[in-house]
Structure 1
Amino acid sequence: MTYKIGIVGLGVMGHNLALNMELNGFPVAGYDLDAAKTKAFLKGPGAGKNIIGVDSPAALMAALEKPRRILMMVPAGAPVDSAIAHLKPHLEPGDILMDGGNSFFLDTERRNKALEAEGFNYIGTGVSGGEEGALWGPAIMPGGQRQAWEATAPIFRAIAAKAEDGQPCVEYIGPRGAGHYLKMVHNGIEYGDMQLIAEIYDILHRGLGLSARELHAIFAEWNQGELKSYLIEITADIFEKMDDETGRPLVDLILDEAQQKGTGKWASQNALDVGAPIPTINAAVESRILSGLKAQRATASRVIRGPRPEYKGNRARLIDAARQALYASKITSYAQGLGLLKIASEEYQYNLNLGEIAKIWRAGCIIRAGLLTDIMAAYQRDPALVNLLLDDTFRAAVESRQEAWRRVVCAAVEMGIPVLALSASLAYFDAYRSERLPANLTQAQRDYFGAHTYRRVDREGTFHTEWI
């Protein structure tokens, strides 16, 4: 028999996707350079299923129906180029090669163009949801040749997560590197969301002295309301987990040093390249970098004085204000990420549909949240919406919470608790709603020291002044 799709790379993500595809009626041929990994998969999770293992690219091609669909699940960077070089001599014109890892979108652009020139199709697809999502339904973000998408769509639609309305969380994103670009921004929003939650935790834990048990109850309750999301849900679970050895909350024993794989940093770097303001995401990236300065922070904590993190106001009021501040900040974080996508869509000619993007993020992915249904509705009301904050529903939601939002940021500042992302979100909101910013002084300074000229508010033209 012939197999519907081949998977190259049978690590956890690769073999879980293979199981997902087989479960949904698509026979899979698997291949890994590590033959032991292939054998272990076939004897373990893949045993008794419509999945075969092959030991060479030639055998893989022989097993697949044409045009061949081959999904690479290998680490980003050089391993992807190596896998392409390994497989390409065995491809035929019209075959479809896919990269399901977290590749940098410009690498995908390069690979797509090079392979297309040789007659092959190439899809770069974001896959979000982690190991469990790969097995039971991820959010999938494919970009590349449209005909390649149409040939793979039945498989992707079958294995993708399904939203509450039954719609699969996958759609064609756009040409070339559009899929991996979207995954990069998704991960940037994820960084922002996680940092906002962490800062609220810091305020409630250090500032109010709330225990892990109390925090579990608060976050579990929040997950029943407007903050309902995967990240809030798992945060509540984390606070409930006790360490088997010490009996203490496990979260209290984890080193405060957050790592990163690079996709959030890529989003920040690219936002600077295309001229998109994403201060919440930038603050999240910077916060992870600051967390890595553990030894320096430990030294500084002993020699640099500041206020003690102790709140003396109404505790219940601050907890409720924290909920409101978190929701308002999440809205502004999404507004920034979607704004970046809008600018990038024009810059790279991706023709992104922001409403469809919100739609496929509603389930399966790490940033899935009830909020995304409202975002999808906002873009249905106005497909040309420039910024989420200009939608009447979201504008009202943020305006009604801004008093509490400001109170939380002020409380954190007074206690000396760093809130880079919360304060950046609020500053973005205030900057975006300001008709006039102090950039006039900045431009005057630029003209003073560099003769960079300026424009005036009272007449057309470009001007330069001899300031001395």
Structure 2
Amino acid sequence: MQMGMIGLGRMGGNMVKRLRDGGHTVVGFDMNPDSARDVDSLEALVAALDAPRVVWVMVPAGAATDSTVETLAGLLDAGDIVIDGGNSRYTDDERHAELLAAKGVKFLDCGVSGGVWGAERGYALMVGGEKETFEAVRPLLETLKPEGEYGLVLAGPVGGGHFAKMVHNGIEYGMMQAFGEGFATMMRSEYVDDPAATMVSWRSGSVVASWLLDLFENATKDDPELKNMPPVANESGEAKWMVEAALGLGVPTPATAAALYARQTSRGGADDILRVVTAMRAQFGGHITKIDEIATH
């Protein structure tokens, strides 16, 4: 098939590589003139594609995606297809679909997982939209997914793909937090001599074996105690959206919420909170915590 890709960063660029290796023709555009783009504007990208066109949007969620979809709505023709493969919030998808539908343009939202390894391993794809539109682009999706039976699903109507990816990322938060807590517990125990090697041993035969453990082994080969890794983890929004959605649906998500708060705390968000707690403890109980004592622990 032929497709246009908007956004040639770490994800988009690797997806283009996998698609081209699979025999598809891809016209790439990125705002960065130093990227490996084929055209220098959205107008040029649309002009380079044969109708009916397929355009994949792989830019940051929010304003960048909104602006790109709005521009495409004015450039594309009825029967064309837009796929949003970024991490947009599922509630944005309905708005984008309605905007494009007014011009006769079809829309799919696609949650993409695979990171920088996707070009080699393939990407897990969670799609939302009409089945007819999904089937029209299936050859592209089949090339992007991993080999084998799994890795591609039509999750539901518009919004379903990004909703599924949101839940996927919430689960990912919880899994990584659990591994981190286990590693930290072993690091502080006299009973485990090599926590990293112990966790790596779980890659075979264990019920917690996973690709995350494979990546953990990569990270600890040269730094088994992860001393060179900063103790700060950013959060990109999906876990927060999942907790909000779950609250609205009456679903308790304590593991996801705890992992989310741990990341926010790592970025210094709890400093003022803990200063208040420490100040109050000092007032009512005389519990004095000195800065130099903290630095030695």
TM-score band, normalised by shorter chain: 0.7 to 0.9
**Contact 2:134/2:154 (<8 A) preserved:** yes
Among candidates 88, 113, 133, match of residue 98 of structure 2: 113
Deviation (angstroms), 1:252: 1.8
Among candidates 141, 146, 168, match of residue 186 of structure 1: 168
Report the counterpart of residue 409 of structure 1 in structure 2.
none
Secondary structure, in 3 states, of the residue corresponding to 2:188? helix
Separation in structure 1 between the aligned mates of residue 87 and residue 134 of structure 2, nearest angstrom: 18
Matched ranges for 1:220-299 at <5 A: 220-225=200-205, 226-242=207-223, 249=224, 251-293=226-268
Separation in structure 2 between the aligned mates of residue 113 and residue 86 of structure 1, nearest angstrom: 14
Separation in structure 2 between the aligned mates of residue 298 and residue 275 of structure 1, nearest angstrom: 30
Cα-to-partner distance string for 1:301-356 (whole Å, 9 max, x where unaligned): x9469xxxxxxxxxxxxxxxxxxxxxxxxxxxxxxxxxxxxxxxxxxxxxxxxxxx
Separation in structure 1 between the aligned mates of residue 237 and residue 76 of structure 2, nearest angstrom: 31
Matched ranges for 1:389-428 at <5 A: none
How many pairs are equivalent?
278
Matched ranges for 1:189-208 at <5 A: 189-208=171-190
Secondary structure, in 3 states, of the residue corresponding to 1:98? strand
Separation in structure 1 between the aligned mates of residue 221 and residue 30 of structure 2, nearest angstrom: 39
Residue identity opposite 1:265 in structure 2? K
**Contact 1:104/1:181 (<8 A) preserved:** yes
Residue identity opposite 1:261 in structure 2? S
Flag the 1:267–1:208 CA change in 2: closer, same or farther, 3 A. Answer: farther
Separation in structure 1 between the aligned mates of residue 191 and residue 51 of structure 2, nearest angstrom: 62
Separation in structure 2 between the aligned mates of residue 240 and residue 263 of structure 1, nearest angstrom: 30
Residue identity opposite 1:31 in structure 2? F
Matched ranges for 1:367-378 at <5 A: none
Separation in structure 1 between the aligned mates of residue 139 and residue 108 of structure 2, nearest angstrom: 15
- When the two chains are superposed, the root-mean-square deviation of aligned CA atoms in Å is 2.3
Cα-to-partner distance string for 1:168-207 (whole Å, 9 max, x where unaligned): 4112111110000000000000000011111111111123
Flag the 1:194–1:297 CA change in 2: closer, same or farther, 3 A. Answer: farther
**Contact 1:215/1:236 (<8 A) preserved:** no
TM-score with structure 2 setting the length: 0.86
Report the counterpart of residue 31 of structure 2 in structure 1.
33
Report the counterpart of residue 92 of structure 1 in structure 2.
77
Deviation (angstroms), 1:298: 9.2
Matched ranges for 1:22-61 at <5 A: 22-37=20-35, 41=36, 53-61=38-46
Matched ranges for 1:59-458 at <5 A: 59-162=44-147, 166-208=148-190, 210=192, 214-225=194-205, 226-242=207-223, 249=224, 251-293=226-268, 303=288
Separation in structure 1 between the aligned mates of residue 120 and residue 56 of structure 2, nearest angstrom: 15
Cα-to-partner distance string for 1:25-81 (whole Å, 9 max, x where unaligned): 1111111233332xxx26xxxxxxxxxx12233332232232211001111100001
Residue identity opposite 2:153 in structure 1? E
Cα-to-partner distance string for 1:69-125 (whole Å, 9 max, x where unaligned): 100111110000111122222200111011111111101122112322331111111
Separation in structure 1 between the aligned mates of residue 172 and residue 183 of structure 2, nearest angstrom: 16
Flag the 1:284–1:223 CA change in 2: closer, same or farther, 3 A. Answer: same
Please state which structure has a larger fraction of its residues in strand: 2
Residue identity opposite 2:172 in structure 1? E
Residue identity opposite 2:238 in structure 1? T
**Contact 2:70/2:99 (<8 A) preserved:** no
Secondary structure, in 3 states, of the residue corresponding to 2:235? coil
Residue identity opposite 2:169 in structure 1? N
Separation in structure 1 between the aligned mates of residue 43 and residue 121 of structure 2, nearest angstrom: 30
Flag the 1:77–1:232 CA change in 2: closer, same or farther, 3 A. Answer: same
Flag the 1:232–1:303 CA change in 2: closer, same or farther, 3 A. Answer: farther
**Contact 1:216/1:237 (<8 A) preserved:** no
Separation in structure 2 between the aligned mates of residue 233 and residue 136 of structure 1, nearest angstrom: 13
**Contact 2:128/2:162 (<8 A) preserved:** yes
Residue identity opposite 1:178 in structure 2? G
Residue identity opposite 1:111 in structure 2? H
Identical pairs, percent: 36
**Contact 1:7/1:29 (<8 A) preserved:** yes
Contiguous gaps of at least 5 residues in structure 1:
43-52, 243-248, 306-468
Q: Which of the pair has more CA radius of gyration? A: 1
Residue identity opposite 2:139 in structure 1? P
Moved more, 143-152 or 21-30: 143-152
Contiguous gaps of at least 5 residues in structure 2:
279-286, 291-297
Report the counterpart of residue 13 of structure 2 in structure 1.
15
Hey, which bits of structure 1, 4+ residues long, moved more than 3 A? 207-211, 293-300, 302-305
Flag the 1:94–1:195 CA change in 2: closer, same or farther, 3 A. Answer: same
**Contact 1:17/1:135 (<8 A) preserved:** no
